[in-house]
Amino acid sequence: MTLTTESGLDGEYVPSPTESVRTQVADYEASGGVKGGTLEGRPVVILTSVGAKSGKVRKNPVMRIVDGDRYVAVASAGGAPANPSWYANLVAHPRIRLQDGASVREFQAREVSGDEKRYYWAVAERFWPHFPEYRRLAGGRDIPIVVLEPIAPRTPVTPYVRYGSTLSLPRRHSHDDRRAQQSGRSGGVRHVVQSAGLRCGAAVLVT
């Protein structure tokens, strides 16, 4: 899929001030997740976001929690009283990049609430049984859950050729077309394209 620079995800990367986070991110990216791929024995992914205040690229290892083609990011911070910094980044700039092993894709972040949040708590606890303890330790903080939904790649546009006054798909050369070409006469699709001043094989898009 084509990654865009408009989201800011290809901007200046500022590594985490925490050495363990910096090292894990560097090891993970350099090895495609072979090194630095776990946290307390559980698999992690690398979450790339744009800083809410700085606008700089930030990277964090987060627990790998999946539900179908979606990923689930739980802003537990181990039960700390404040949300992790990456949560504010996702609120401000919801388009993110995720590396899962050697695979890198872009996603749209969406915070969930109500019944949907209860559902994703159940999903998350199947992957990491310590979340109930984190909720207790967080006290009055309502731990956010963010669902990361894949951004579909653009569908390739099928090339069309305008043939006379109608629109038609390029057709195969017939026996007569080949015979005409061999005898030096123009014919078939090649004649249509060349008479329009275009190289054979060029894609002609009709808008």
DSSP string, 5-23: STTSTTS-B---SSHHHHH
* Domain presence at residue 4: no
Whether 37 is in a domain gets the answer yes
Q: How many CB atoms lie within 10 A of CB 76?
A: 25
Helices 188-195, 175-182: axis angle to 10 degrees equals 60
Range 35-47 average pLDDT? 96
Query: Are 103 and 187 in a shared domain?
Result: no
User: Do 194 and 168 share a structural domain?
Assistant: yes
pLDDT of residue 152: 76
Q: Count how many domains the chain has.
A: 2
pTM as predicted: 0.71
What's the pLDDT tens digit per position in 116-127? 999 999 999 999
Residue 116 lies in a domain: yes
d(CA 94, CA 60): 15
> Does 205 reside within a domain?
yes
> Are 131 and 193 found together in one domain?
no
Which of 150, 166, 185 marks a domain boundary? 150
Query: Same domain for 41 and 121?
Result: yes
Q: Are residues 70 and 85 in the same domain?
A: yes
CATH number at residue 115: 2.30.110.10
Q: Are residues 116 and 196 in the same domain?
A: no
pLDDT for 151-176, tens place per residue? 976 445 444 444 444 444 445 555 55
Residue 121 lies in a domain: yes
- Residue 95 is part of which domain span? 19-150
User: Is residue 161 within 8 Å of 204, Cβ to Cβ?
Assistant: yes
Tell whether 176 is covered by a domain. Answer: yes
